[in-house]
Each structure stands twice: as C-alpha cells, then as structure tokens.
Amino acid sequence: MQFAYGLGPLMVVALTNSASLSGLSVALLGLSRFLVAYPVGKITDTYGRKPGILLGLVLGLVGSIIVGVSMAWASIATLVTGLLVFGMGMNAAQQLRVAATDMFLPSMRAKALGYVAVGSLVGVVVSPVLIYAAEEIAHRLGQDPLGVPWLLMPALIVAGMVLVVFVRPDPKVIGMNLEQYYPDYVPPSSAESKDPDFSVIKLLRSMPVCLAIVANCAGQGNMSIVMVLTSLVLHHHGHSLSSIAISMSIHTMGMYAFSIPIGSLADRFGRNKVMFPSVAISLLGATLVAYTEGYALITLGAFLVGVGWSGANIAATALIADEVQTLERGRAIGVNDSFAGGISVVMALATGPLIEGYGVPAAGLLAVLVALAPLLMLASVYAVRWSRSRKISTRKH
C-alpha cells in the first residue's frame, strides 16, 4: 500500500501529463475499498477468514503485475485497471483484522488490532529499500523506474500467502469456540446463532455501531484531506521535497507507532473513551495543518491526524467486533470499511476543487467539519438521554 500511495500519483502524472489528476490513484484505492469490503466479508463469514485473505492476496498479486506493465505500455487505462484490482486485493486482505478480533477475548481485541497495525511499520521500512533496488534494476535494464517496483512485489505477496496458509485452525473457528482456547472464559448467555439474521439496516440501527462507523469515517475522511493538504501547504511555504518527505514520515509514524498502547487503552478503559478523543485529536491536527504556517506546527498537525486516525480505527473496529457475532463479524467490519472507502473517495475528489476555488482554508474547514460530525452525534445522544432521564425523574416526583 505504501507503493500505491507513494508511487501512484507520480505514475498518473507521468502517463497523463496532468497534475490535476494526481489524486486519481488515491480515489481509486478508496473506491476499491468501497467495492470489495462487504462482499469479501460475506466470503469470510461463510467460508472462513483464510479463504478471503488469500483471495485478496491473489488479486493484489495480479494487480501489482498489471500496474507494473502499465508503465511499459504507457497506458493510463491499464494503470487504472491495475490500481483498482490491486486496491481490491489489498483491502480484501484487510479481513486479517477480523481474524485478529476472532482469536482474542473481548478484553484483548483492541490490543490485538494494535499489533496488526504496527506491522504496517515494516512496510514503511521495506518500501524505500525495495524502491531503491528497483531503481537500480530499472536503470540497468532500461525500464521505467516507476513500474519495476511493482514487478518485484509478487515475491512479498507470495511470502504472505504462505504465512496465511500456516494459520491453523481458521480464526473463524477460534472465534466461535473461544472457551476451548481460553478455559477461564465464560461466553455470553446469548449463544452464537448458526445463521445470524444479518442486514446492513439492522447493523446501523445499533447506536454504538453507528457511532463507531461515523467516528471511523471521520478519521479516514480527515486523513484523506490532510494527506493532500500537508504536502501542498509545506510546498506553498517554500519547504524542500526532503523536508516534506520527513513530515509525511512523521505522519505515518503517528498512524502506526502507537497502535499497541492505543489498543491497550481501548481494552482497559472502553472503546468510546479512546474513539471519540481520537477524533478530537484528529480535528486538532487538521486545524494545525490548514491554519498555521510554521513547519513544526504543520508537521505536528499531520502527526496528530495520524494518531487520531489510529485510535478511531482501532477502537471502532474493536467495538463493532464486540457488538456482533462471529458469523457476521466479517460483513459488519466490511460495512465499516465500505463507508470508510466511500468517504475517502468523496474527500479525495473534493479536496482539489476546494483548494483551487477557495484556497487551503476551505479544504481545512471541510476536514474539521468531517471530524466534528461524530462528536456532535455523541453530544446529541447524551442530550436525548439526559432529557429522557429528566422526564422520568419529573414523573416520579
């Protein structure tokens, strides 16, 4: 995924000679997530987590080859196809988060998700090394250095597939029989249904789940805007490309480096007590990026947006996993991911025109409003509860 975010925009510009289309690759990744998240959740709920994850990795492998070939063919249509297939594959493989929630007790789920997220830091380290090696190979073979890294990626994907095969039993089996793996665990009184009556409408009627989805979307949408804003704002203030790269690396560190302690806090103090403060942190970060000028403050803002996204994502995913049965968990988290993918597409497409028409502050305001939405929803829920409790108290008197 580091390739997709780092090289994708450069490849689009190289093939179209249009900087205005540079956000196309990010939008395609969001679209792929929107399209695939629920269907692959249905697959993992029906056949197990491993088949869904392996299917995603196969699609990712095919997509990476198509993307690599697109540069040799100088074909934007091939690139779009490849990015869409690759994005669907990698987002389908994100069912590994569902697998992590299956294998652990509710009191350990968020921390388990934190460990999974920290694994992304390995990608942050590996990606530059692989790109450097690909550049050397490309120059020797006379190939486009933007395309060759994608042709090396299948080796990593195949290694991942081998590791998934060795996971036994399927995490779904563990999730349905937790008491066999944790002898002291007492399952809830409501036993797992063999065929839960799942529907998206029913899922969204649950206020905790609805708030979790909105909070996760807020973190994702906010980050989609800020990832574009940060580089543009720093460039506007005259900072070098290396300085911008350092700032984006710090942002990435915020996204993943603190995932384990964030997960531990969500397990210890509750999902909401991590999820909503994380959205507030993301809101603060977006404000710093959009409305300050100093390099340190802008970079701090990007870092806070990353931390806020991490907390919202981990806590929301754990909350949804807590609220649904194992047999519907893949679809439930798939719905969450679909909404997050949809908001990414909308924000990616809206940011450019907003900046061009009204300037950076307008895009910053949009990021703030997106992050504000779940906080206002939470406030309204508490207001309704307070009003009801007051009416009950009045009737008693």
Comparing 375 with 227, which gets the higher pLDDT?
A: 375
Contacts for 62 with CB less than 8 Å, ≥ 6 apart: 85, 86, 89
Question: Has residue 99 been placed in a domain?
Answer: yes
Residue 158 has pLDDT above 80, yes or no: yes
Q: Mean pLDDT across the chain, nearest whole number?
A: 86
**What's 166's DSSP letter?**
T
Residue 204 lies in domain = 2-176+198-396
Question: Has residue 302 been placed in a domain?
Answer: yes
pLDDT tier, 259 (very low <50, low <70, confident <90, very high otherwise) = very high
Question: Has residue 192 been placed in a domain?
Answer: no
Domain count, the chain: 1
348 and 300 in contact (C-beta within 8 Å)?
Answer: no
Question: Has residue 76 been placed in a domain?
Answer: yes
**Residue 204 identity (one-letter amino acid):** L
pLDDT tier, 396 (very low <50, low <70, confident <90, very high otherwise) = low
Q: Tens digits of per-residue pLDDT, 68-120?
A: 999 889 899 999 999 999 999 999 998 999 999 999 999 999 999 999 988 88
- Write the CA distances from 166 to 56, 153, 169, 193, integer angstroms: 17, 21, 9, 28
H-only helix segments in the chain: 2-16, 24-47, 49-73, 76-92, 96-102, 109-118, 120-141, 148-165, 171-176, 178-181, 200-205, 207-236, 241-256, 259-269, 272-291, 295-323, 326-358, 360-396
pLDDT tier, 162 (very low <50, low <70, confident <90, very high otherwise) = very high
Question: Has residue 182 been placed in a domain?
Answer: no
The C-alpha angle 90, 233, 2, rounded to 5 degrees, equals 15
Question: Has residue 191 been placed in a domain?
Answer: no
Q: Tens digits of per-residue pLDDT, 262-309?
A: 999 999 999 999 999 999 999 999 899 888 888 899 899 999 999 999
Burial classification of residue 3, based on how many CB atoms lie within 10 Å of its CB (0-12 exposed, 13-18 middle, 19 or more buried): buried
Question: Has residue 79 been placed in a domain?
Answer: yes
Q: Tens digits of per-residue pLDDT, 11-29?
A: 887 888 876 676 678 788 8
Question: Has residue 52 been placed in a domain?
Answer: yes
pLDDT tier, 359 (very low <50, low <70, confident <90, very high otherwise) = confident
**What CATH number is attached to the domain comprising 385?**
1.20.1250.20
Give the number of other Cβ atoms within 10 Å of residue 181's Cβ: 14
